[in-house]
Amino acid sequence: MAASCDSLLPLILLLCLSAQAVDRSNFKTCDQSAFCKHQRELKPGQSPYRALLDTLELSDSRLTLQLINDNNKVRLLLELYRLQGNMTRVKINELKPLKPRYEVPDVLISDPITEALSVVAQDENSLVLSLGGKDQRLIVSAQPFRLDIVEGPQVLMSLNSRGLLAFEHLRARKDTISHKISSTVGSMWDSLKSMFSSKSESEQVTGQENVEQQTDEDGQIKEEEDKPGMWEETFKSHTDSKPNGPSSISLDFSLPGVEHVYGIPEHADTLKLKNTDGSDPYRLYNLDVFQYELHNPMALYGAVPVLISHSTDRTMGIFWLNAAETWVDISSNTAGKTVFGKILDFVQVSNEVPQTDVRWISESGLIDVFIMLGPKPADVFTQYASLTGTQSFPPLSALAYHQCRWNYNDQEDVKTVDQGFDEHDIPYDFIWLDIEHADGKRYFTWDPSNFPQPKEMLQGLMDKRRKLVAIVDPHIRVDSGYKIHNEIRSKNFYVKNKDGGDYEGWCWPGNSGYPDFTNPEMRAWWASQFAYDQYEGSMENQYIWNDMNEPSVFNGPEVTMHKDALHGVWEHRDVHNLYGLYVQKATADGLILRSGGVQRPFVLTRAFFAGSQRYGAVWTGDNAAEWGHLKISIPMCLSLGLVGISFCGADVGGFFKHPSAELLVRWYQVGAYQPFFRAHAHIDTPRREPWLFGPENTALIREAIRQRYALLPYWYQLFYNTHRTGQPVMRPLWVEYPDDVATFSIEDEYLIGKDLLVHPVTDEGATGVTAYLPGKGEVWYDVHIFQKHDGDQSLYIPVTMSSIPVFQRGGSIICRKDRVRRSSSCMENDPYTLYVAPSSQGSAEGELYIDDFHTFSFEVAKQFVHRHLSFSANTLSSRNLAPDSQFSTASWIEKIVIFGGSQPSSVTLKNADGTESALEFEFGSTLAVLTLRKPGVNAAADWTVVLR
């Protein structure tokens, strides 16, 4: 939540001042959400759906067949696709819907590449399809309908094995049609045609045919009995008109042999997802939740409907492509209890095998699910990236330290804070402005009293090679004197209410309109507003922050938009979880556009969806200055990384309340080792710039930030790799140690890439922590003192207030820049130090990546340096990984530090031209650390160092 309480609206004042924690009564439970309650009342049992195998149609890449609900005779269309990369796509829609159902656009980066499907066996009740190779099969059981994916004798995943497929078909209200199909059909159909006059003639016929299918032998329409909330729903003072009636969907998935599932962010909860039997399901519905509770499945700001399962045998993923409100139930079972029919001819399942069952329930849309079959963690990340894209590659400065507050008061305040960092020798790259910087909270403007000369302010920062972020939220003040509002209204770009007028609600400016970001024309117009001649006072070192984009509507149901608001022909209920993604996309496009396509953007968003990784960073929202919130930031960011969003962080220090000096220091130490590193605070909190807690704490915070800056080359290389491959930057231990059951529930430590293990101190008054060092036969080195430890052990580490337990994996080489300056831009051409941590076999490898740190030239012109570093048999070398790239750098290798070796008699540097020279070195015998001084070679050159 951002901004001040200067509006006269009492509700806003209440929201700003009243909260010590979230008011749960503002947000629905499953029992208060009609579709969730109704769907959850359906218990596991025999499914009423039957596959009509005689309707099967098979092409090279697609199989279709019809399903029929034997209770109401409504038919569905099942589509099955085998996708490149060991994935399967399952779509289920009404065969002949009364009107089209929403299919999520713009999330998939392209139409997935399909591969050939073939039938390998068929009888009267089953169909067996090959998914590639000789062992992987998809079994379609007809009655009751069920899908099983098997590999050899092993069931990998089953769909509808618990009979929880439920598809509420679109239909007219009972009070608008006759209950007898007789001579009144004609007048009934005239009524339906007038209700949906925008449909094509063919769609109208489709609807009539669907009504006819819903009759029994006597012509009686067999519909589910109407229940409360199916045709109209009220929550507190808000009524949802539900003009299309009930339209929810549900499907269950069973995962034999699986006990650990992860993902479906965003929730302030454990990394491993919990069993929801007897409690609310996990909810995915983007909401502005004021100071959220911990360890709760309630919805938060973002929603990524991706669940990942992991066992020692296999890692898999389920991507439920639906943007409506969604609930996810997770329960434990025993595999084989519901195995039936022909599947027994293919597999044998022990009744003692554990099983996790997952049920997805969405309010509208259709079933469109991607099953990612791994088998390794890295394979699932690659598979998901092939569908929704990879993390955008941020400019280097965005990976440095950000200083934010709601709000820095004026230009002089910005200047004073900027000078404070120099006076206390603390580096930073970005200073941030919340909504008070704008003129009356009119975005794309500057307050004329407090920020009268924004270009002067920005130029002052640019002179120090620093940058600024200004907030631009998607609620627009309704004000006839405001250019942005007038243009949006004149272009008819606002979201509409159910009656067709512009939708309006209360947010920080007071009465506000909400641009329809689902409209590509609106997004293009929004992007154009970031041009320097449109956004007056902006400069190239100004970047953007999108807050409140769930969207937040203070006087709306659950503090968000009414579900029956309209985005063109679609209701808000269909698109809700997409809104924040579209806001961030339009903003990122605007920053790229303003630079003529040259500069990489940086945009932070609070609301997000699958695919948001393509447009920038996210943060964990309105946390509090409490130890629990510090702890929970780790599993929250790990969960996001598992579903593609690597650029994640939490407000350092906590947004609400005032941290103790100890908590603040520990939070800086955690933040320095998380991908997005920003301090932020509520307007009502005392100032907390890093130097305001006494010299001793200033020194501790300075050291944490300096550690971040020294490691920027490693962070940058990791983000380059995740941009190329989709592998998470911050990752749980089990990702790299998938066979080690001890890692499966660990969430108080994590890996950065595969080579740094971090176990930050997150307990008040801690005098020690116990870190698990994985990997039997591996070694780990303390990065601060270079002490070596064996893997596959829990290590007790005494700590003081200066301690940040971090270990480098044996077998790795990490590049750092140990000359820390006032900003990352000042360090671009500085020399590198290589830290070589040999494995137990004495070898190591790593990478060095360099480009211009801020443009797309690395991609469009192959202007970058990418080198492979290897150490083996006492020889360290640098080899070019991109011989066709063209880039030169002024950086050079200043120092090489090799852990855990023996003292050489001589060290020789061999250059690419064949010349040799002796290097100076020092050897510390206590911890066996060899330091080579000033090799002096260019960072882009080939070279070899030989120890004798």
User: Are the CB atoms for 530 and 540 separated by under 8 Å?
Assistant: no
Q: What are the DSSP E strand ranges found in 838-913?
A: 844-850, 865-872, 875-880, 893-898, 907-911
> If you search the block for the tokens 């530090």, which residue do you land on?
897
Q: Which two tokens stand for residue 108?
A: 């998939």
SS3 386: helix
The rounded distance, in Å, linking the Cα atoms of 480 and 478 is 7
Residue length of the chain: 948
Residues 854/396, Cβ–Cβ less than 8 Å: yes
CA dihedral 707, 710, 712, 714 (to 10 degrees): -100
Torsion region of 464: left, alpha or beta (phi above 0 gives left; psi -120 to 50 gives alpha): alpha
| Tokens 């149901």, residue located | 557
Active site annotation includes 54 = no
Q: Is 380 left (phi over 0), alpha (psi -120 to 50) or beta?
A: alpha
- Give the tokens for residue 391: 């993390």
Q: Which residues pair with 71 in a beta bridge?
A: none
**What is the chain's alpha carbon radius of gyration, rounded to the nearest angstrom?**
29
Question: In the 8-state DSSP scheme, what is residue 226?
Answer: P
- Cα three-residue angle 867-673-290, rounded to 5 degrees: 135
Catalytic residue, chosen from 357, 379, 479, 622, is 622
Q: Which residues contact 97 (CB under 8 A, 6 or more apart)?
A: 169, 170, 206, 207, 210
111 included as an active-site residue = no
Rounded to whole angstroms, the Cα distance separating 325 from 455 reads: 43
Which residue, among 904, 268, 298, has the nearest Cα to 626 in the 3D structure? 268
CA-to-CA separations, 516 to 488, 521, 671, in angstroms, rounded = 9, 9, 35
CB-based contact 589:581 (threshold 8 Å): no
- Contact in structure between 815 and 894 (CB atoms under 8 Å): no
User: Considering only CA atoms, which of 155, 157, 128, 159 is closest in space to residue 47?
Assistant: 159
State whether residue 829 is helix, strand or coil.
coil
Catalytic residue among 252, 516, 547, 651: 547
Bond preceding residue 375 cis, omega within 30 of 0: yes
**CB atoms closer than 10 angstroms to residue 354:** 15
Q: Residue 559: what are its φ and ψ, rounded to 5°?
A: 60, 35
Enter the tokens of residue 528. Answer: 């154009």
Distance in angstroms (rounded) separating the CA atoms of residues 282 and 329: 6
DSSP assignment, residue 273? P
CB atoms within 10 A of CB 13: 13
Strands (E) across 124-159 are located at 126-130, 136-141, 146-151, 154-159
Terminal alpha carbon distance of the chain: 60
The residues near 696 (Cβ < 8 Å, ≥ 6 apart) are: none
E runs forming strands in 161-229: 166-167
CB burial string 710-737: b at 16+ within 10 A, e below: bbbbbbbbbbbbbbeebbbbbbbbbbbb
Burial (CB < 10 A; 0-12, 13-18, 19+), residue 57, is exposed
Distances from the Cα of 781 to the Cα of 30, 799, 808, 839, angstroms: 48, 16, 5, 10
Give catalytic residue positions.
547, 622
